[in-house]
Structure 1
Amino acid sequence: MNWKTIFNPFLKFDEKTLLIAGFVSITSVFLFGYYFGLQTDSLFHFRLINSEDSLSKIILSTLIVYAISILIFFVFGKIINKKTRFIDVVNPILISQFIVILLLLISEIPLVKNAQKQIIASVENQSFELDMISLLITTINSFVSLAITAYGMAILFNGFRTATNMKDWRHIVIFVLLLLTIMLTMQLL
C-alpha cells in the first residue's frame, strides 16, 4: 500500500468492495457515536443525544444527513460529468466517514476528556486561571482532530474527483463551498 492508495482508495478497489466498506463505516460511526452519546448531525460532526430522542429518531436523522449529502453531490457530479454513477458518489461519502471513528475514540481518552472538562469548568466559573497542561492537551487534541478531519475531507474530495473526472478549478472551488455549506447547514437543522 502506498500514499496514493491511502489518500485515494477509489483507484485501487472496486466499487462493490468500497460500498460494503462504506456501509460498515457508517454503521460503525453510528454504533460508536450512540455508545458515546453522540449523533451524526453533519459530515464529520456530532451533537449530543437528547435523553428524549428515541433510537429510531436518531437512526432516521443520521440517515437523512447521509442521504442529503449523497443527493447534493450526485446532482453536482451529474452537472460536471453526465456519466457520473450514483455508486461512485455514494462510496466517497461513506468511506470518508471511517475517519470519524478516530475522532470519536480520541475524544473519549480520559486524559483528553478531563482536560476539556477542566477548561469548561474554568470558563463556567469565569476564572482566568487555566491549567496549562489541560490547555496544552486540548490544543494538541484540536490539532489532531483537525488533521484527521482534513484527511477525511481529502478522501471525500479524491473519491468525488475520481468519480466525476473533475479537473476544472471552478468545479473544485464549488465542491469545497458546497461541502462547507452542507456541513454548516445540517448542523443548524
Structure 2
Amino acid sequence: MNWKTIFNPFLRFDDKTLLFAGLTSVTVVFIIAYFFGYQTDSLFHFRFISPEDALWKIILETSAIYALNIAVFYIFGKIINKRTRLIDIINPIFISQITVIFLLFLSEIPLIKNAHIQIIDSVGKQSYEIDPITLLIITINSFISLAISAYGFAILYNGFKTATNLKNWRHIVIFVILLITMMLTLQLI
C-alpha cells in the first residue's frame, strides 16, 4: 500500500469491496455518534440529539442526509460524464465517512471535552478570560480535526474524480461549491 492508495482507494479496490467498507463505516459512524449523543446533519458535521428524538426519526433523518448527497452528486456526475454509475458516487460518500469515526473519538477525549466545556461556559458567562492551556488544547484539537477533515474531503474528491473522470477546472470549482452548499444547507434544515 502506498500514498496513492491511501488518498484514492478507488483505484485499487473493486466496487463491491468499497461498498461493503463504506456501508460498514456509515453504520459504525451512526452507532458511535448515537452512543455519544450526536446525529449526522450533513457530511462531516453532527448536531446534538434532543431527548425527544426517537431512534427511528434519527435513522430516517440520517438516511435522508446521505440519500440527498448521493442524489445531488449523482446528478452532477451524470452531467460531467454520462457513464457515471450510482455505485461510483455512493462509494466515495460512504468511504469518506471513515474519517468521521476519528473526529467523533477525538471530540470525546476527556481533556478536549473539558476544554470545550470551559470555552462554552466562558462564552455563556460573557467572560472572555480563557485559561491559556484550554486555548492551547482547543487550538491543537482544531488543527488535528482540520487535518482529519481535509483527508475526508480528499477521499471524497478523489473518489468523485475517479468516478466521473473529472478534469475540467470549472467542474472542480462547481464540485467544491456544491459540497460546501450541501453541507451548510443541510445543517440549517
Same fold (TM over 0.5): yes
For 2:154 and 2:99, the matched residues in 1 are separated by 11
CA-CA distance at 1:127 after TM superposition: 1.6
Give 5+ residue unaligned stretches, structure 2.
none
Specify the alignment match of 2:172 in structure 1. Answer: 172
For 2:124 and 2:46, the matched residues in 1 are separated by 22
Q: Residues 41-80 of structure 1 correspond to what in structure 2 (within 5 A)?
A: 41-80=41-80
Specify the alignment match of 2:131 in structure 1. Answer: 131
Specify the alignment match of 1:32 in structure 2. Answer: 32
Specify the alignment match of 1:152 in structure 2. Answer: 152
CA-CA distance at 1:118 after TM superposition: 1.0
For 1:109 and 1:31, the matched residues in 2 are separated by 17
Name the aligned partner's letter for residue 138 of structure 2: T
The RMSD of aligned alpha carbons is: 0.6
For 2:47 and 2:101, the matched residues in 1 are separated by 14
CA-CA distance at 1:92 after TM superposition: 0.2
| Deviations 1:86-112 (CA, angstroms, capped at 9, x unpaired) | 100100000000000000000000000
Specify the alignment match of 1:21 in structure 2. Answer: 21
For 1:127 and 1:181, the matched residues in 2 are separated by 34
Specify the alignment match of 2:188 in structure 1. Answer: 188
Specify the alignment match of 1:161 in structure 2. Answer: 161
TM-score (norm: length of structure 1): 0.99
| Deviations 1:144-165 (CA, angstroms, capped at 9, x unpaired) | 1111111100000000000000
| Deviations 1:119-171 (CA, angstroms, capped at 9, x unpaired) | 11111112232100001001111111111111100000000000000100000
- Identical residues among aligned pairs (%): 68
Name the aligned partner's letter for residue 81 of structure 2: N
Specify the alignment match of 2:88 in structure 1. Answer: 88
Specify the alignment match of 2:12 in structure 1. Answer: 12
- Structure 2 residue matching 1:57: 3-state secondary structure: helix
Give 5+ residue unaligned stretches, structure 1.
none
- Structure 2 residue matching 1:126: 3-state secondary structure: coil
TM-score (norm: length of structure 2): 0.99
Deviates more, 1:145-154 or 1:31-40: 145-154
Runs of 4+ in 1 over 2 A off after TM superposition: none
For 1:82 and 1:123, the matched residues in 2 are separated by 51
Name the aligned partner's letter for residue 115 of structure 1: A
- Structure 1 residue matching 2:166: 3-state secondary structure: coil
For 1:28 and 1:102, the matched residues in 2 are separated by 11
For 1:48 and 1:119, the matched residues in 2 are separated by 17
